[in-house]
Amino acid sequence: MKKIFIIILSIILCGCGNNSSKVSPFERWMQEEGKIKILSTTRMIDDLVENIGKEKVAHLALIVGEIDPHTYELVKGDDEKLNRADIIFYNGLGLEHGASLRYRLQNDPKAKSLGDLLYNKEPDQFLVIDAQIDPHIWMDVSLWAKTIEIITEELIKFDPKEEMFFRKNADVLKDKMVQLHQKIYTLLQKIPPESRYLVTSHDAFNYFARGYLLEGQETDWKKRFIAPEGLAPDGQLSVTDIHRIVDHLISHEIGTIFPESNVSRDSLKKIASVCAQKGLKVNIANVELYADAMGGKGTSADTYFKMMEHDALAIGECLEGVR
């Protein structure tokens, strides 16, 4: 009887353990009492919030996985997340332009646009592509670091007694981002200038190119980066777009183009095919870059820091000495 009792008890305990492991991030977020509940639209923002707020905040990202933040629409359960959040941080600058999400963010007093608030302070730091502000500001670590102050001030407004705690964490995070920015710059500057040309699926790497790929006193970052699809990879690729990229590849003898984790490779395959017809062999890199979405848990890009370093290492390894 004693053995049977032990077996039954073990089954019950294992069952309880399995149930607890199935608790969703949202359920855990809801269960964390006594903390500031922060909802961020993207994981890039969520990472900053986690580093600044630490155990004082319950943080959650709205858009996860390989979902495109440009076109994300609210789904079942999102309203509850938005309603329960004490503060909502979003990128802004037109990134979250899915109609339902955009309307909610623009009409919720708890929602703070990091990009727009930063743009109001330092408009000269932002890039304009086809009359639209490029929203991919996290792709330059030094620029993204400027949003730390905005997040910190909002946390302090909500919980003034923890001001020193938030500011201390913010200072540590700023120092780490300065180091990351310099590490990426140093790594990519090792690529010979004649090979330092980046071509990806869509216009997510403009800030990256300006921050890390320019040579010496060079200022024309557009020559260092080009992509067939625009700021939001949701349009139809035209013949003109294809030939624009092909001409650029041939002009600079670029032999490698990079896929992005959450964007179809179809456009890159078309471009490589046309280049082959014109006598230029172009390879699609066997490693994906991350821009609009971070990697899944346990991957080499499952945090903002790891994502940016992954991209830099992948580009460096593929382009250095490519000729």
Domain extent at residue 69: 25-179
Residue 52's CATH number: 3.40.50.1980
Q: Is residue 10 part of a domain?
A: no
Residues 170 and 201 in one domain: no
Q: Is residue 186 part of a domain?
A: no
Residues 31 and 142 in one domain: yes
Residues 32 and 143 in one domain: yes
In whole angstroms, give the CA distance from residue 105 to residue 75: 14
Which of 122, 152, 179 is a domain's end point? 179
Residues 251 and 297 in one domain: yes
Residues 65 and 119 in one domain: yes
Residues 32 and 168 in one domain: yes
pLDDT at 231: 82
Q: Return the percentage of the chain with pLDDT > 90, whole number.
A: 82
Mapping DSSP onto H, E and C, the string for the chain reads CHHHHHHHHHHHHHHHHHHHHCCCHHHHHHHCCCCEEEEECCHHHHHHHHHHHHHHEEEEECCCCCCCCCCCCCCCCHHHHHHHCCEEEECCCCCCCCHHHHHHHHCCCCEEEHHHHHHHHCHHHCCEECCEECCCHHHCHHHHCCHHHHHHHHHHHHCHHHHHHHHHHHHHHHHHHHHHHHHHHHHHCCCCHHHCCEECCECCCHHHHHHHCCCCCCCCHHHCEECCECCCCCCCCCHHHHHHHHHHHHHHCCCEECCECCCCCHHHHHHHHHHHHCCCCCEECCCCECCCCCCCCCCCCCCHHHHHHHHHHHHHHHHCCCC
Residues 199 and 148 in one domain: no
pLDDT at 234: 67
Nearest C-alpha neighbor of 72 from the set 25, 50, 40: 40
Q: Is residue 235 part of a domain?
A: yes
Q: Is residue 249 part of a domain?
A: yes
Q: Is residue 2 part of a domain?
A: no
Q: Is residue 1 part of a domain?
A: no
Phi, psi of 256 (to 5 degrees): -135, 135
Number of domain units in the chain: 2
Residues 233 and 165 in one domain: no
| Residues 6+ away with beta carbon under 8 Å from 240 | none
Which of 130, 145, 179 is a domain's end point? 179
Nearest C-alpha neighbor of 261 from the set 232, 228, 296: 296
The pTM of the full predicted model, rounded to 2 decimals, is 0.90
Which of 150, 179, 208 is a domain's end point? 179
Nearest C-alpha neighbor of 111 from the set 29, 38, 181, 215: 38
Residues 118 and 140 in one domain: yes
Contact 201, 260 (CB under 8 A): yes
Residues of the chain with pLDDT under 70: 1-21, 234-236, 321-323
Residues 143 and 214 in one domain: no
pLDDT at 232: 80
In whole angstroms, give the CA distance from residue 270 to residue 246: 10
Residues 145 and 101 in one domain: yes
Residues 150 and 202 in one domain: no
In whole angstroms, give the CA distance from residue 34 to residue 116: 30
Contact 256, 283 (CB under 8 A): yes
Q: Is residue 205 part of a domain?
A: yes
pLDDT at 26: 86
Q: Is residue 33 part of a domain?
A: yes
